[in-house]
Structure 1
Amino acid sequence: MSSFNQSGTKEFPGAQEFRATVEDDGLDADYSMVGDYPEEPDYYVLLGLSRNPPPTEAEIRSAYRNLTLSFHPDKQPPHLRHAAESQFRHIQEAYETLIDPNKRVVYDISGAAGVRQEWGQHGAMGIGGEAQRQEVGVKAMSPDQFRRWFLKTMKKRERKAVESLVSSKGGITLGINASTMVSVDEDEDVQFHIPSPKVSTYGVSYNFKTPLSIPQLWGMTEKEAETSEETDSGEEVQEEGTEDMLVTWNAGIAGGLARPVKKVTVEYEDGTEGEEKFEMPPLLAGQNFQFGATVVPNFKNLVGTKGIWVKHPFSLLRDSQVSFEALLLPVPTLKANIARAFQPIPGTRPFQVNVTSIHKRSLEETAPSFEVQISREIAKQKIGVITWSSGVVHWPEFLHNLFPSLGMGAQSAIASANEVSNLQIGLISLPKQGQAAIDFDDDDEEESGELDEDVRNLLKKKRLIDQSAESWQTHLQATPGGGAFVLTYSRNLFSGKPADDPVKTEWSSEGYFPMPSMDQARAVRLEISSVVGLDMSLNWTVKGVRRVGEYTRVGLGIGIADKGIMVTFSWSRLGQNINLPINVCPANEATSGAAALTAIFPWLAYCAIEFGYIRPRDRKRRRQAAARRHRELKKLIPKKREESLQAIELMTDQVQRRQAREEAQEGLVILKAEYGYIPAINKKPKNGFEEPRVIDVTIPVAALVNRGQLVISGKTIKFQILGFHDPAPLLPKRLKIWYRFQGRDHFVEAGDKEDIACPMRTHFIST
């Protein structure tokens, strides 16, 4: 039988100076790992179970029973009883969480803190929580049903919290005339001047949503009600608080700011008369009023899902998204929209069809106009779109002959002159953000040499492409009076977290996806839009957006528009927007050269601030935070080492017996195992990191052998395994294992994020 080293740890040289040089010499990867360093033990790792595939109830009970043999306080000598009680408390907590299907669902989503919160006071499963207010018994749900219910509950809670910050959406636009800032002479030389800006236009918009419940339009029979109740208690659990109708009220006003000047005849002391101009208080001119509402009915609640509504054509309405929009100002208008997916051939990608009927005038004047949009995914992340608008639809001639009163008057004909038919054919490319899953550590791959240079470069290139989140949209537009080609392109510039809008909610039907931490470098979302007319006229806009807070974004845009060269500043937070379009050059003097020069100076100024001040400041802050975290973790090493030594002493007897049985059967016998930081051979180590920091984990690794196999997932946090501790916090570590199988000695090594499976297939020999 092989011998075991019970010391459990190997003190590394220079422990007293550990991290002494972090602030001056810190590693590149140090502060990137600070936010991901786990505070609590992983329950799966604690019980020696895998997350994927999920363990069965029998496997959880078996793991708990095996650990009870080693860690139950009643079975320990007096000097180890206190240590056993501490370890066993964590093991019991892990077992009670994973053996309960509902607690395990919550733990998989939001961790141990989430379980304590949701089963505590004011939690979803606590006293007075959502579970007690749920009509269908939560405890009777299957794990899948409970997961859907829990995610819906968390999403509603989050939405309520966000809505408490802001209950409506609005926008303010102030147009500023600073057209004297840039001038172009006859030789097209661009000159810059000190402007005298004045507010010339304004715009204010506001909208808010409110739910509305109305009686069901089509009652269900008693039998249908019973069937519906069975369905609700089975696969579908109706979301609490779902309303029959959602109404969005919106209002807006836009116009100009007039500064009237009054001429006054005055008489001077010498008897002469003259005229003086006096500037009157500015006047607001409202040129565009808007007031209306959008109604989105929930037809499933209104008409039910039984009876006549399962038959055509009524089923089209039930399975569609329907909305109605009514405008009272500026012109009474009613819009009805219906959207539905169609799949002509089973197994193919469906078509999404949107049809909108627009009623702007009385039926005596014109027929309703229509807009039809058909979209379909033609390739991965690529969507083709065709949109047709009818414009004004006149009644046919034979109806005019039958009903002479039909037709538009002169005033309506003039007002509808711009309402012409329109055809657009476009292609949309969605960003591939988040598609590249890099499951290895760059330092690990360099040290192991398992990936060749070409593969590594391809993976890094793919990761950069995915982080850029490139997207574009292009379409051809044709009207009876002309046409245009429109192109819009956007991507993230610089390294860091995206500046575009994050997921609207952290909770979805798929799980919990927290927003990225705001303590990292932030990218700039670049958006470029251009319109080329048939006469080769070109309008373009370049806009950059950057996140400056958790919910706040600021933007700067520059481009050529109908009014000349426009510079736009924007600010947005939780649906509240402020836009400041500034006209810096009149249209008759605007040229592409002048616009380019106008764009260069703000861009250079931003780059100087971003890379000369903001990013160095953020790097310094992250380095200081990493150094503080290093010092905190360093202080915990003696305590963690003592706990791991005690755990090893508690499990040694049981592990030795199991390994003796393995050796008698020529099975898997762990000879030696080491875990810790080992400096790279092909790299010059930084000052203070020249020596390895390794601990002996032979007993803990041997304890994981189950039925002649040792499996450690790459997603397992290895220093959280019972008997392990972290000898080098925030440094890349490796696990080395020497083992004997079928009479032969073997060796395996893996990084923190790599899988381990022993015995390896190549180590099997025929007996």
Structure 2
Amino acid sequence: MEDDYYSLLNLDRKCGEEEIKGAYRRQSRLFHPDRHCDANKESAELNFQKIKRAYEVLIDPQLRTIYDLYGVQGVESGQHLALYDMDRNKIKETFERIQRQKKEKEQEAATNPISHISVELDASGLCYSNRETYITELFNIPINSFVISQSVDAPLTESNRATVMCTAINNNDVATGLIQTHVRHTFSENTWLESGLTFGHGATVTLTGYRKLTKFLWSTFRSQCSRIEREYLQYSAGATLGCNIGDSTVIKAEISLDKTVKGVITKSWEKLRLYLSYQIGLENQVLSCQLIRPLKIGNPPDAQVECSAKYDLVEGIHIEYGASKQLTEYSRLAALVRIGYVSGVKLKLMLTRGQHSYRFDIMFSDVIEPVAVLYGTFIPVFVYSSLHWLVINPYLNKLKAEDIAAKSEELKTQLERAKEEAREAVTLMRPTYDRNVNVEQCKGGLVIVQAWYGVFGSANKLIDVTVPVQCLVSNSKLILPEHTKTGLVGFYDVSYGEDKQLAVKYRFRNIMHEVIIADGEPLKIPRQSHRIAQSASQSGS
């Protein structure tokens, strides 16, 4: 288990230079080998070196940035030397590029299969059926179209990749198929060119390219030539010029030979994303606006809600609203309700699992009906709730139990070592603990009566941390930042994967207080709200 440098010094991750220096002075005085007898000198030296290394990394802006990005392994490896002279933004940019390259190399090691299934159902009969025919309509929902595609993406050389995709389409009982091939040549990380050939309903040749012009500007182009049923050639082409303004704003202008021009603005804030586009052509104009609000709900805490409005000169106004939720590490479920004067009411359900996606479009009504809107809104809630309680939760609990069992066995030796190091650290803290308690008692300050850390309800998963917590008291105050307490000196992870808590009973101004917090919560004491009612009333009497 890697040391957490912030926890070792009891620092918040946003701490400044003076806070780092102050924390190091306090901890180094506590564990300096010269302050301990020969019997404890070796243990003191071990803890002192940990504290010193944490200070050396966090006080150096470059090393601290590398540690924040790479962890201890990044700092200790030779990789950080190439980044040392860069500023924070450059280090972050380089790190992200290295990660992308690493991921690309992993993907190049084997083919990358991608599949997509799309089904369109016509459930409009449900909205108009009576009670007697409802069940019959439910089991006789027709399929208007069905699309299934499978592609394989594989490297040919270091600079060339090939993709082959086969697609089968059934639209109103008319079956067709397509075979598409694409070859991409990468000249550099700023330039690539891709050519494609499609067979099926005629033949189509495409040529696509990308070029990064400056740090902020980039462009793409696409040209296409199709021969349909041996009758005539159809040609189209278009280009896009984009500008990245910082990390949160993108502006694009798209021009095509069919005499349409489209402008797009994408703006991201911490809690909101905006997509705005306007397309103008000879026969039509389209204005679109989309808002996306990311949310932290459930586990994993990755979800979002979105709503959009679209005005089409030909088709009128369309409104969409919906949500998506990360189910597991590799799976995501999304639902969107589309309402329009021409399109009626349609529900889109999308499930993504790794590189495979499944989409179901359900038509509830070809006109706007309140009952159809009700169906489209509540069916996704029912589907998600059913999946969540019947499939996802049991599956995640099983994976968590298996991971805990595997990790617990793997970390058993490390746990014993951490337990012994914590015991030795507590021994070293005893003299400081005694002095601290005496000082605080004399002035009626903050005295930790008892502190426990671990899994409450299980006696063998709790450790007494009274001594290390008291040693963190300074000027009758105790401040623990918002991070796991496992990394604090004198603490250790008593049970991997389980939710842990910290319980502190303390005396301040001769009045008893008590507080219990979750492992990752911050703690600031003393607080009036921690007073024990019985002690307070006795004190008043």
* TM-score normalised by length of structure 2: 0.68
- Alignment pair present for 1:149 and 2:90: yes
Pairwise CA RMSD of aligned residues? 4.8
Aligned-partner SS, 1:723: coil
The CA deviation string for residues 426-469 of structure 1, in whole angstroms up to 9 with x for no partner, is 331314234x6xxxxxxxxxxxxxxxxxxxxxxxxxx6998552
What letter corresponds to residue 710 of structure 1 in structure 2? L
Structure 1 339/201 Cα, relative in aligned 2: closer, same or farther at 3 Å?
same
**Matches of 1:745 and 1:610, distance apart in 2:** 47
Q: Which structure 2 residues correspond to residues 89-100 of structure 1 after superposition, within 5 A?
A: 89-100=49-60
Contact 1:326 1:332 (8 Å CA) reproduced: no
**Matches of 1:288 and 1:209, distance apart in 2:** 22
Q: Which structure 2 residues correspond to residues 611-650 of structure 1 after superposition, within 5 A?
A: 616=394, 619-630=397-408, 639-650=417-428
**Matches of 2:430 and 2:222, distance apart in 1:** 76
Q: Which structure 2 residues correspond to residues 536-615 of structure 1 after superposition, within 5 A?
A: 540=346, 542-547=348-353, 549=354, 552-558=355-361
Show the counterpart of 2:151. Answer: none
Q: Which structure 2 residues correspond to residues 80-229 of structure 1 after superposition, within 5 A?
A: 80-117=40-77, 120=78, 123-125=79-81, 130-131=82-83, 138-139=84-85, 141=86, 145=87, 147-166=88-107, 190=140, 200-206=176-182, 208=184, 210-211=186-187
Aligned-partner SS, 1:716: coil
What letter corresponds to residue 176 of structure 2 in structure 1? S
**Matches of 1:337 and 1:731, distance apart in 2:** 50
Contact 1:676 1:692 (8 Å CA) reproduced: no
Structure 1 322/170 Cα, relative in aligned 2: closer, same or farther at 3 Å?
farther
Deviation at 1:745, TM superposition (A): 3.2
Show the counterpart of 1:266. Answer: none
The CA deviation string for residues 572-613 of structure 1, in whole angstroms up to 9 with x for no partner, is xxxxxxxxxxxxxxxxxxxxx9xx9xxx9xx99x99999777
Show the counterpart of 1:55. Answer: 16
- Alignment pair present for 1:675 and 2:452: yes
What letter corresponds to residue 491 of structure 1 in structure 2? A
Aligned-partner SS, 1:643: helix
Deviation at 1:704, TM superposition (A): 1.0
- Alignment pair present for 1:253 and 2:198: yes
Match of 1:703 among 437, 460, 471: 471
**Matches of 2:295 and 2:507, distance apart in 1:** 42
Show the counterpart of 2:238. Answer: 335
Higher relative contact order (CA 8 A, sep 6+): 1
Structure 1 763/553 Cα, relative in aligned 2: closer, same or farther at 3 Å?
closer
Match of 1:388 among 272, 279, 285: 279
**Matches of 1:80 and 1:644, distance apart in 2:** 13
Show the counterpart of 2:148. Answer: none
Q: Which structure 2 residues correspond to residues 13-24 of structure 1 after superposition, within 5 A?
A: none
Contact 2:66 2:80 (8 Å CA) reproduced: no
Contact 1:172 1:204 (8 Å CA) reproduced: no
Show the counterpart of 1:371. Answer: 261
**Matches of 1:201 and 1:324, distance apart in 2:** 28
Match of 1:526 among 332, 335, 339: 335
Structure 1 431/203 Cα, relative in aligned 2: closer, same or farther at 3 Å?
farther
Deviation at 1:645, TM superposition (A): 2.8
The CA deviation string for residues 180-230 of structure 1, in whole angstroms up to 9 with x for no partner, is xxxxxxx9985999xx99963214152536346xxxxxxxxxxxxxxxxxx
Show the counterpart of 2:366. Answer: none
Aligned-partner SS, 1:754: coil
Structure 1 709/209 Cα, relative in aligned 2: closer, same or farther at 3 Å?
farther
**Matches of 2:44 and 2:208, distance apart in 1:** 66
- Alignment pair present for 1:716 and 2:522: no
The CA deviation string for residues 472-496 of structure 1, in whole angstroms up to 9 with x for no partner, is 43323124xxx34445454336x83
What letter corresponds to residue 397 of structure 2 in structure 1? R
Contact 1:175 1:202 (8 Å CA) reproduced: no
Structure 1 296/759 Cα, relative in aligned 2: closer, same or farther at 3 Å?
same
Deviation at 1:371, TM superposition (A): 1.2
Show the counterpart of 1:433. Answer: 295
- Alignment pair present for 1:423 and 2:200: no
Contact 1:49 1:60 (8 Å CA) reproduced: yes
Contact 2:115 2:356 (8 Å CA) reproduced: no
Q: Tell which structure's C-alpha radius of gyration is larger.
A: 1
Contact 2:480 2:523 (8 Å CA) reproduced: yes
* TM-score normalised by length of structure 1: 0.50
Match of 2:327 among 473, 496, 514: 496
Deviation at 1:101, TM superposition (A): 2.1
Structure 1 170/199 Cα, relative in aligned 2: closer, same or farther at 3 Å?
farther
Deviation at 1:614, TM superposition (A): 7.5
What letter corresponds to residue 238 of structure 2 in structure 1? K
What letter corresponds to residue 524 of structure 1 in structure 2? L
Match of 2:511 among 745, 750, 767: 745
Deviation at 1:251, TM superposition (A): 1.9
Structure 1 555/628 Cα, relative in aligned 2: closer, same or farther at 3 Å?
same
The CA deviation string for residues 229-279 of structure 1, in whole angstroms up to 9 with x for no partner, is xxxxxxxxxxxx7x4xx34324231424xxxxxxxxxxxxxxxxxxxxxxx
Identity of aligned residues (%): 19
The CA deviation string for residues 367-408 of structure 1, in whole angstroms up to 9 with x for no partner, is xx34143658799847474523223xxxxxxxxxxxxxxxxx
**Matches of 1:624 and 1:760, distance apart in 2:** 40
**Matches of 1:746 and 1:690, distance apart in 2:** 25
What letter corresponds to residue 619 of structure 1 in structure 2? N
**Matches of 1:423 and 1:191, distance apart in 2:** 35
Structure 1 95/466 Cα, relative in aligned 2: closer, same or farther at 3 Å?
closer
Structure 1 329/112 Cα, relative in aligned 2: closer, same or farther at 3 Å?
same
Contact 1:670 1:701 (8 Å CA) reproduced: no
The CA deviation string for residues 408-427 of structure 1, in whole angstroms up to 9 with x for no partner, is xxxxxxxxxxxxx2112333
Deviation at 1:650, TM superposition (A): 1.2
- Alignment pair present for 1:653 and 2:431: yes
Contact 1:252 1:289 (8 Å CA) reproduced: yes
Structure 1 716/164 Cα, relative in aligned 2: closer, same or farther at 3 Å?
closer
Contact 1:488 1:528 (8 Å CA) reproduced: yes
The CA deviation string for residues 30-57 of structure 1, in whole angstroms up to 9 with x for no partner, is xxxxxxxxx33321221233333x131x
Q: Which 5+ residue runs of structure 2 have no aligned equivalent? A: 120-132, 144-169, 227-233, 364-371, 532-541
Aligned-partner SS, 1:654: helix
Show the counterpart of 2:5. Answer: 43
Q: Which structure 2 residues correspond to residues 299-318 of structure 1 after superposition, within 5 A?
A: 299=214
Q: How many residues align?
A: 459
Aligned-partner SS, 1:51: coil
Deviation at 1:647, TM superposition (A): 1.4
- Alignment pair present for 1:477 and 2:453: no
Show the counterpart of 1:682. Answer: none
Deviation at 1:632, TM superposition (A): 6.0
**Matches of 1:97 and 1:351, distance apart in 2:** 34
Deviation at 1:718, TM superposition (A): 2.1
Aligned-partner SS, 2:479: strand
Match of 2:504 among 692, 714, 736: 736
Aligned-partner SS, 1:90: helix
